[in-house]
Amino acid sequence: MYYLIYGVIKLEPIFAMEPVSSDIISTGEEWIAQVKWDGVRILTYSDTQEVRLYNRKKNERTIHFPEIIPLHEYCSSNSVILDGEVIALGEDGRPSFQQVMRRDGLRNLERIKMAAESVPIIYMIFDVIYLNGEWIDNKPFQVRNELLADIITPNDHIQLVPSISEAEALFHAIKEQGMEGIVMKRLSSHYSIGKKRDDWLKVKNYRDIIAVIGGFTLGHDTINSILLGLYDNKGNLHYVGHTGTGKMTVVDWKELTKELRELVTDEHPFHKTPQRHAHATWVTPVKTVKIKFAEWTEGGAMRQPSIEGFIDVPPKECLLDRS
């Protein structure tokens, strides 16, 4: 996970620890709860030479979030790996996945500079894995959390995620605000690099998935609905519903229309032709989108799906799992 070049430690990116889904809020003195922020998971790596940013897939995001780069302004350690979530706030003051994806999805450096002014971000830090030349992933979460508080000084773009002992009260507040959910963490838990462990549990206020767009319908020459699918383990794309609602402006719909028209194909990509979509236009299934929904219906479709934002994920990773 690190190597030496001329005596300087060079940190290599790791896969982040992930929480396990749960429908039950764990209680007891061994648990704390934190807000589950609806953003982009970013790990910050800093040695004595440079600061680099990577997402959960180990894709570099260093140029995307320049607000995080001046580590000396908020962290007292030059040798560190921090784990957190980059969020952007919508007009209602709540985290907006669509807004943060306007930053994460950019590839042109000049546009990134402009977006940093129009879409400010906040880095919500919740863990430290490496500190002062030492891996501390095997230390209990409670110890890591205390170390994190010692080295981080919050500012306009950097915040520490608070730990709350009253998990049920926090979840109730999250539901009232319409936010994503909470993550419960066992105080004695180690940071299990690249693994899912039930030492971290996520309880969601609503469900969400990353789905593949397989088609669309038009209204007045502009897309008014997208048809969504998920792959099974044999590579078949299954239709799971359609939606024409979400955090999309008129301009967003027009841009999506232009983009999907370039992907139009004569053959539908789904394993079975979706019912009630005789006038749908089919597209090559390459564009992915984050969808928020209430629950799965008995017929295997999403109930009340809405668009949260578009995300750059390999389509084949959008897997069918109705748990």
Name the region of 194 (left: φ>0; alpha: ψ -120 to 50; beta: rest): left
Output the domain CATH number for residue 89.
Answer: 3.30.470.30
Token digits for 176? 């009232």
Q: Are residues 141 and 65 in the same domain?
A: yes
Residues 255 and 311 in one domain: yes
Q: What is the pTM of this model?
A: 0.84
Half-sphere exposure of 10 (CA within 13 A, CB side): 5
With a cut of 50, say whether residue 8 has pLDDT above it.
no
Q: Are residues 238 and 299 located together in one domain of the fold? A: yes
Share of the chain above pLDDT 90, in %: 68
The number of angstroms, rounded, from the C-alpha of 274 to the middle of its chain's C-alpha atoms is 29
The confidence score (pLDDT) of residue 1 equals 56
Residue 144 lies inside a defined structural domain of this protein: yes
For the chain, the farthest-separated pair of C-alpha atoms sits apart, in whole angstroms, at: 65
Q: Is residue 189 part of a domain?
A: no
Best-predicted range by mean pLDDT among 26-40, 105-119, 271-285?
26-40
- Looking at the structure, do residues 240 and 310 belong to the same domain, yes or no? yes
Q: Could you tell me if 98 and 59 are in contact, meaning their C-beta atoms sit under 8 angstroms apart?
A: no
> What is the reported pLDDT for 188?
97
Q: How many domains does the chain have?
A: 2
What separation, in Å, do the N-terminal and C-terminal C-alpha atoms of the chain show?
33
> What confidence tens digit (pLDDT) does each residue in 45-76 have?
998 789 999 999 899 999 999 999 999 999 99
Bridge partners of 208, per DSSP, are 292
Domain membership of residue 277 (yes or no) is: yes
Question: Which pLDDT tens digit goes with each residue over 178-225?
Answer: 889 999 999 999 999 999 999 999 999 888 899 999 999 998 889 999
Q: Could you tell me the pLDDT band of residue 6, with boundaries at 50, 70 and 90?
A: very low
Residues 6+ apart with CB under 8 A from 97: 38, 39, 247, 290, 308, 309
**Single residue among 144, 167, 190 that ends a domain in this structure:** 167
Q: Which amino acid is at 63?
A: I
- CATH at residue 252: 2.40.50.140
CB under 8 Å to 227, separation ≥6 — which residues? 213, 214, 215, 216, 217, 239, 242, 270, 274, 277, 280
Q: Which range marks the domain in which residue 217 is found?
A: 207-317
The domain boundary, picked from 118, 139, 167, lies at: 167
Q: What are phi and psi of 176, to 5 degrees?
A: -65, -35
Domain assignment present for 3: no
Report d(CA 80, CA 130) in Å as an integer. 5
Better pLDDT: 47 or 322? 47
Phi-psi region of 6 (alpha: psi -120 to 50; beta: other; left: phi over 0): left
Quote the CA–CA distance of 239 and 19 in Å, as a whole number: 27
With a cut of 50, say whether residue 3 has pLDDT above it.
Answer: no
290 in any annotated domain: yes
Residue 10 forms part of a structural domain: no
Average pLDDT over residues 22-42: 93
The tokens of 69 are what? 């780069």
